[in-house]
Homo-oligomer: A and B are copies of this chain.
Amino acid sequence: MAAFDTLFKIPTSLSAGTGPSVPIVLSARVRLARNLADRPFPGWAKEAQRRDTLSQCEDALKGLDPLNGGYTFAMSDLSELQKQVLVERHLISRELSTAGEGAAVVVSKDGSCAVMINEEDHLRIQVLQGGIQFKKVWKTIDALDTTIEERLTYAFSPELGYLTACPTNVGTAMRASAMFHLPGLVLAGQMEKVIRAVNQLGLTVRGLFGEGSDATGSIFQISNQQTLGESEEAIMQKLTSVLQTIIEQEENARARFLEADPVKLLDKLGRAYGVLQNSFVLCSTEAMNTLSLMRLAVDLNMLPEEERSLIDQLFIQCQPAHIQFATDNALDSTGRDRYRADFLRKHFQMLPPLNFEGFVPSS
């Protein structure tokens, strides 16, 4: 499938989407759930109805910015592997990858915008950007949503707001989330405490691949839980202020760790660098954890800032489905672990040594 191959070649990155790749914050994302009026939700719809939803939505999305010139993939046209690649890029959910007839995704050319059709809701619109620019993300997604609404009639209740398949989404039907890199809090063993505090503020913390995924690579998604009784702007404002606090906590955790036990941190960073430069077998969990530490090394100026985007790209490129696709589906799990090690070793042998100047305590 030529279109998929073209999409696969788009540079992808942990701090997905366009925008700056910066310390601590990887990306900001807003997702809107929308449904067509007077039509059963995908989970209750017959196949013919889902097909009809798909064709109506596809028509409505045609030519709209920023989707214009992008890609449309029906799930039924994709192989299992291709679907997994889209999941690893956060362009579709695991749920869409297993959805039946009529499930599709429309992706903008740069991968920063994606609209899933016939997932849990008729439409799931998402826009994501590197850094923590909710205003910019909101402006883009709000404009897109408004144009779509001019072409389709949304299921909307004046009292409740947007209606959704799952009652927890009713109202704004919006989920705003930020992807964070929090190695300092993880190393300091404070992440559990942070998660509890964040939960009490009505926000949710998840791993890199959403619900049920763990904290591999010290990467966390933090998002709003509530969709009723608050405006989109209020939700994003509250989220931004909490996220600001988390950034501060991460910065403090790093500073305290560096003060209390710099050698332990150097040891962790040095060993991760040694593994990436010298291993011949590397599973994806170890790859994510060592790359995560290299991202921290960039934050601490131990590696040049220009290597940040390389590291963020390697993070996604060494995911299982990405490796499987890049090697024409020819490898078993052991083969992937070897390919991953070769791939990362070649990149890391080109990097300069970690610059520990100013960190090594005089003995």
Q: A residues bordering B, Cβ < 8 Å? A: 263-264, 266-267, 270-271, 273-275, 277-281, 338-339, 341-342, 345, 354, 363
A353 nearest CB neighbor, chain B only: B349
Interface of chain A, helix or strand or loop or mixed? helix
> 16 new A-B pairs (CB below 8 Å) besides A270-B279, A271-B274, A278-B354?
A263-B280, A264-B280, A266-B280, A267-B280, A267-B341, A270-B278, A270-B280, A270-B345, A271-B278, A271-B279, A273-B278, A274-B275, A274-B277, A274-B278, A274-B279, A338-B363
Q: Are B341 and A363 in contact (CB under 8 A)?
A: no
B residues near A271, Cβ cutoff 8 Å = 274-275, 278-279
Contacts of A264 in B (CB 8 A): 280-281
Q: Chain B contacts of A279 at CB under 8 A?
A: 267, 270-271, 274
The distance in angstroms between the C-alpha atoms of A264 and B279, with both chains bound, is 9
In the complex formed, the residue of B with least CB distance to A361 is: B338
Known: A278-B270, A279-B274. A263 touches B338 (CB 8 A): yes
Cα(A264)–Cα(B342), bound, Å: 13
Q: Smallest CB–CB gap between A121 and chain B, Å?
A: 44
**Closest 10 CB pairs between A and B?**
A274-B274, A270-B278, A274-B278, A267-B280, A267-B281, A266-B280, A263-B280, A271-B279, A267-B279, A273-B278
Could you tell me the distance in whole angstroms from the C-beta of A123 to the nearest C-beta in chain B? 43
Residue on B with the closest CB to A273?
Answer: B278
10 contacts between A and B (CB under 8 A): A263-B280, A263-B281, A264-B280, A267-B279, A267-B280, A270-B279, A271-B278, A274-B277, A274-B278, A278-B354
Return A3 CB to nearest CB of chain B, in Å. 29
The residue on B at minimum CB distance from A360 is B280
Per the bound structure, the CA–CA distance linking A279 and B275 in Å amounts to 11
In the assembled complex, the Cα of A273 lies from the Cα of B276 at a distance in Å of: 12
How far is A275 from B264 in the complex, measured between Cα atoms in Å?
A: 14
Q: Give the distance in Å from the alpha carbon of A279 to the alpha carbon of B263 in the complex.
A: 9
Q: Which residues of B contact A267 (CB under 8 A)?
A: 279-281, 341
Q: How far is the CA of A290 from the CA of B270 in the complex (A)?
A: 16
In the assembled complex, the Cα of A267 lies from the Cα of B275 at a distance in Å of 9
> Which B residues touch A339, using CB under 8 A?
363
Specify which chain B residues have a CB less than 8 angstroms from the CB of A281 in the assembled complex: 263-264, 267
List the B side residues contacting A341 at CB < 8 Å. Answer: 267
Instruction: Chain B residues near A270: list those with CB within 8 A.
Output: 278-280, 345
Write the chain B residue with the least CB distance to A354: B278
Residue of B nearest to A342 (CB): B363
CA distance A338 to B342 in the complex (A): 30
Bound CA–CA A280/B341 (angstroms): 23
* CB closest residue in chain B, given A356: B280
Closest to A264 in B: B281
Residue of B nearest to A327 (CB): B363
Min CB distance A363 to B, Å, is 7
In chain B, what residue has the closest Cβ to A272? B278
Which residue of chain B has the shortest Cβ distance to A359 in the bound complex? B280
Chain B residues whose CB sits within 8 angstroms of the CB of A266 once the complex forms: 280
Please name the residue on chain B nearest to A265 by beta carbon: B280
**Given the complex, which residues of B lie within 8 Å of A345, measured CB to CB?**
270
